[in-house]
Amino acid sequence: MSPLEIALLALLACFLIGMPIFMGLIISAIAAILCSDILPLSIIHNTLFDGLNLFPLLAIPCFVVAGTLMEYGNITGQIVDVVKQIVGRSYGGLGITTVLASTFFAAISGSGPGTVAAVGTILIPAMIRNGYSKEYSAAVASSGGTIGVLIPPSNPMIIYAILGNLSVTAMFTAGFIPGFIVAFLMCGTAYLLARKNGFAGDKDAPPFHLPTFLRTCGKCIFALLTPVLILGSIYTGMATPVEASIVGIVWALFVGIVINRALKWEHIYKSLIEGAIICGGVLLIVGASTLFGKILTYEEAPQKLVSLVLGFSTTPEVVLLLIIAILYVLGMFLETLATIIILVPVLLPLILKLGIDPIHFGIILVVTNNVAMLTPPLGVNLFVASRLSKLPVEKVSVAVLPYIGALTVAILIFTFFPSIATWLPRVLGYGG
């Protein structure tokens, strides 16, 4: 067998026995090196170092820390208060509030599970108190959390941009319009399901009153300025995404301690621990997958995949649909970042060969991985919502099916209309 075949078989065996992903990647890469006559052992430590020595990776733990600080500092609660005044009394008002609050919080956190935890902690109990079923409450919270990896900043977008040698800012820009389309479809789904089941709005919420709404916005102005500050610093060129993540941390500390007076020392400690845990997990997978990707490159796996797929079809849309189908299956078993890290080095040469814009493909990749957050056995958003709603994961998995349908519609729209993803980056001069 060739080193490539040995690597793939070893990786499959590691996955089947339940070994952690980073260990499976390293073991399969080392097995291929030991069976190769041309790959030196020195490639292991050199590649691991090069894979981790990437400045943009710093943005991921920093955005996680910023989002966690904002949750503890009551910034998330203030965002919910503002959104609830707009749609709180309509059918499914609290469900729509959950989606819209998730959209707003996504511009702070960059993490899907983090968005579910921050928004769901407040709104899942509120929905249950107002007569919404636990299934509805958990489903809308876990589904709304998927927007956290599409609206910038987005941790998967940062990883994809690094691996594809693309501008992180360009990917962030490309996520805006698709993100709002997904949010609209999610809100529509939440409304229709609430209408069908007779879930009214928040009975404690007063009717919309513009002066009251403006006063609430005034009280929560520092919370509402958070995404403007973070994203504005990036798009005006005043800060890189990494620097903007630090700005987010400083702003969260200022608002949480000085303005809201809700942030305590133990909250800061917990936020730093959360960032370290996320950073450690990401770096392990990134380093291991860089090594595995190097083996694939030496064995010309991308070129072989290109020849195989082009032998089947040369139509870009057909190829994208095939990739989407594969991602739907892989997403059930692989974590989002792991899927992106493993597949991008293999798929990107194929995408470029077909003339597909890499930014367009990046958006499809990220949105398709949104579905992975809602599909068992590894749907991370399901587990967060299950814990918050005290409902078995199996029941949450069934309840999210309409939202998976809405995401699938969004994916098909983005596949056949690439300008949705590429228009804004092109207009703002980021390529695409």
From CA 302, how far away is CA 213, in angstroms rounded?
A: 55
Q: Tell me the CA distances in angstroms from 116 to 99, 209, 283, 389, one per residue in order.
A: 10, 29, 23, 12
- Summarised one tens digit per residue, pLDDT across range 400-413 is 999 999 999 999 99
- Summarised one tens digit per residue, pLDDT across range 351-400 is 988 899 999 999 999 899 888 888 876 677 787 788 778 888 888 889 99
Q: Is residue 228 part of a domain?
A: yes
Percent share of the chain, pLDDT over 90: 15
The tokens 């996680």 sit on which residue?
A: 64
> How many domains in the chain?
1
pLDDT of residue 291: 80
Among 279, 295, 281, 280, smallest CA distance to 26 is for: 295
- Summarised one tens digit per residue, pLDDT across range 252-279 is 899 999 988 888 999 999 888 877 876 7
Contact 130, 91 (CB under 8 A): no
pLDDT of residue 110: 61
DSSP 321-340: HHHHHHHHHHTTTS-HHHHH
Contacts of 80 (CB under 8 A, 6+ apart): 97, 101, 119, 122, 123
Question: The tokens of 84 are what?
Answer: 């609830």
Q: Is residue 432 part of a domain?
A: no
Q: Is residue 131 part of a domain?
A: yes
Q: Is residue 248 part of a domain?
A: yes
**Residue range(s) defining the domain that contains residue 344:** 3-427
pLDDT of residue 205: 63
Q: Would you place residue 83 in the very low, low, confident or very high pLDDT band (cuts 50, 70, 90)? A: confident
